[in-house]
């Protein structure tokens, strides 16, 4: 047996044979939607917001932009100890005795892009693309989740035609990476009786409940050795998947790139020995992985058989995910020869593949009260090798906290059975619906008077900050609404422009009524 050696560094990973990939920039529709004055004001404000980098943990610039705006308009503002921003706005004349209302959104966005995009989220502005009635970005997430909430709140606060009682604009940090801002919000800063969260994604829906969540981290020590002299390095990549929001889109049964990649490599083991060197997939805990890749060694005399096997695998995978992931692609290439020929030991490679294969992903249970609603699920969000260890990140959601705990314990158990270390965070609570609240009744009445139709009232499987904020402020009545957004947390994110005016008008009437 060859002597065990240290894990290869990232710089030691063999170079990949170059492959030319043709790319094309998206083209805008010739029949672009014509914005009215209100919509143009909202979009102009949103464009200013979108020019500022605001990845989770990097909210300082957008917060300063809002502070400057508050100073310009002579609004009182407070930054709490974790970095949340609260802007207090006096009531319209004659409405001073009305109850205070919070308009709430988050400062950060999910930063996803296509493999061919050169966008740098630390400095580059989001580039808008108008496509008929839809607004999207150039091969990146648009950030309407939740930049459009900031834009709408700013416009409402400075619109002389909108009458309102005392307002509090609450903009939280790091919502996308664990609801950090909501969890750290100090009590006593917010005085409102009502809270309107502008983070829902269908303009005919009032959201009154959401799932709770918890993340699990798995860490497995790896063993490496020199691979046999007659083994050749290979690079496997899965790309082009649809991805999406791990709460909203988990019901769609979209492919998970990590699972697809692992499934192919696991099946290669039926043909020949496989020695993993490196694996990487997924970018965020709340985004379904769209791309994943790995490097490994196989016997040289099995290369042709493996190539044929991978071609067949790509064919049946495309057939399986024809509707959900029509652009799925599988690439296999031989790697350039390098002096470093270290790979994971054969049994360690199998342990890694078995562990990833055993971990769940997708819908675990549907609600028995609302069958169309996912009750419990998890997203196998990230997997990567670094420093001689395998790291895996799984994100669980459920509207029933005991079932959230049960699924989390199952994932931890699978990790421990493989010999890995597994630990989970404290998570965040679900938001239990109150279908009899005064706020909901008022919002429904106003919606029906404006649009001559009844809104949908529902809970969602995604996480919202309302559950946490509600726990901090007992008795606060809450509702979530927003313009129509499709495919958040992916480069296919887009916002339906005609919904802007509808939601803005609705919010204005709600503020006047409350």
Q: List the CATH number of the domain containing 448.
A: 3.40.630.10
Task: Tell me the CATH number at 275.
Answer: 3.30.70.360
Lowest mean pLDDT among 74-78, 95-99, 218-222: 95-99
Same domain, 78 and 207: yes
Within-domain flag for 26: no
pLDDT at 30 over 70: no
Last residue of a domain, one of 361, 391, 424: 424
pLDDT at 391 over 50: yes
pLDDT at 237 over 50: yes
Last residue of a domain, one of 392, 408, 424: 424
Domain range for 165: 37-211+430-513
Split into its structural domains, the chain has a count of 2
pLDDT at 17 over 80: no
Q: How confident is the model at residue 404 (pLDDT cuts 50, 70, 90)?
A: very high
Same domain, 319 and 344: yes
Identify the pLDDT of residue 14: 41
Joined together, the tokens standing for residue 244 give 């999406």
Same domain, 407 and 485: no
Distances (CA, A) of 157 to 92, 110, 170, 358: 10, 26, 12, 51
Q: How far apart are CA 442 and CA 436, in angstroms?
A: 11
pLDDT > 70: what percent of the chain?
A: 93
pLDDT at 9 over 90: no
pLDDT digits (tens, 9 = 90+) for 342-366: 999 999 999 999 999 999 999 999 9
CB 375 within 8 A of CB 459: no
Within-domain flag for 32: no
Q: How far apart are CA 328 and CA 510, in angstroms?
A: 44
Same domain, 228 and 281: yes
Identify the pLDDT of residue 338: 66
CB 222 within 8 A of CB 286: no
The whole model's pTM is what?
A: 0.78
pLDDT digits (tens, 9 = 90+) for 130-154: 999 999 999 999 999 999 999 999 9
pLDDT digits (tens, 9 = 90+) for 253-280: 999 999 999 999 999 999 999 999 999 9
pLDDT at 372 over 70: yes
Lowest mean pLDDT among 7-11, 161-165, 197-201, 489-493: 7-11
The DSSP result for 215-259, as a single string, is EEEEEEE--EEEPPTTEEEEEEEEE-----BTTTSGGGT---HHH
What amino acid positions are annotated as catalytic residues?
108, 175
Q: How confident is the model at residue 4 (pLDDT cuts 50, 70, 90)?
A: very low
Identify the pLDDT of residue 100: 95
Same domain, 138 and 247: no
pLDDT digits (tens, 9 = 90+) for 34-68: 999 999 999 999 999 999 999 999 999 999 999 99
Q: How far apart are CA 420 and CA 414, in angstroms?
A: 9
């Amino acid at each position: 047996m060859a002597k065990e050696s240290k894990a290869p560094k990232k710089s030691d990973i063999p170079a990949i044979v170059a492959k030319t990939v043709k790319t094309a920039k998206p083209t805008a529709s010739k029949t672009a939607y014509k914005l009215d004055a209100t919509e143009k004001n909202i979009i102009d404000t949103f464009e200013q917001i979108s020019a500022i980098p605001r990845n989770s943990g990097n909210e300082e610039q957008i917060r300063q932009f809002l502070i400057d705006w508050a100073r310009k308009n002579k609004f009182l503002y407070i930054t709490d100890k974790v970095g949340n921003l609260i802007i207090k706005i006096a009531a319209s004349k004659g409405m001073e005795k009305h109850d205070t209302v919070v308009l709430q959104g988050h400062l950060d966005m999910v930063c996803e892009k296509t493999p061919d995009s050169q966008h740098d989220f630390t400095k580059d502005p989001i580039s808008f693309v108008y496509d008929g009635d839809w607004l999207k970005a150039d091969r990146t997430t648009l950030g309407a989740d939740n930049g459009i909430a900031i834009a709408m709140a700013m416009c409402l606060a400075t619109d002389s035609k909108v009458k309102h009682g005392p307002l509090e604009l609450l903009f939280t940090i790091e919502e996308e990476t664990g609801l950090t801002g909501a969890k750290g919000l100090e009590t006593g800063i917010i005085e409102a009786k009502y809270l309107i969260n502008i983070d829902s994604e269908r303009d005919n829906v009032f959201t009154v409940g959401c799932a709770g969540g918890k993340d699990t981290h798995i860490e497995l020590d790896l063993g490496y050795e020199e691979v046999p002299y007659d083994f050749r390095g290979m690079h496997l990549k899965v790309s082009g998947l649809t991805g999406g929001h791990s709460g909203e889109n988990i019901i769609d049964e979209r492919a998970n790139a990590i699972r697809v990649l692992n499934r192919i490599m696991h099946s290669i083991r039926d043909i020949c020995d496989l020695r993993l060197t490196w694996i990487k997939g997924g970018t965020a805990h709340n985004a379904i992985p769209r791309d994943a890749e790995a490097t490994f060694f196989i016997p040289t005399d099995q290369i042709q058989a493996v190539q044929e096997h991978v071609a067949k695998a790509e064919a049946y995978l495309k057939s399986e995910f024809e509707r959900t992931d029509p652009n799925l692609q599988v690439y296999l290439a031989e790697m350039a020869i390098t002096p470093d020929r270290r790979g994971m030991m054969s049994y360690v490679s199998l342990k890694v593949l078995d562990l990833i294969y055993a971990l769940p992903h997708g819908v675990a249970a549907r609600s028995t009260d609302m069958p169309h609603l996912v009750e419990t699920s998890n997203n196998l969000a990230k997997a990567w090798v670094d420093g001689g260890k395998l790291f895996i990140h799984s994100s669980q959601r459920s509207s029933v906290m005991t079932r959230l705990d049960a699924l989390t314990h199952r994932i931890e158990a699978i990790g421990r059975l493989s010999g890995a270390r597994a630990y989970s965070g404290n998570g965040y609570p679900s938001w239990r619906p109150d279908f009899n609240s005064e706020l909901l009744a008022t919002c429904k009445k106003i919606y029906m008077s404006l649009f001559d139709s009844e809104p949908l009232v529902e809970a969602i499987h995604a996480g919202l900050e309302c559950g946490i904020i509600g726990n901090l402020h007992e008795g606060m009545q809450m509702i979530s609404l927003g313009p129509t957004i499709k495919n958040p947390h992916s480069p296919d994110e887009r916002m339906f422009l005609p919904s802007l005016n509808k939601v803005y008008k609705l919010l204005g009437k709600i503020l006047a009524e409350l």
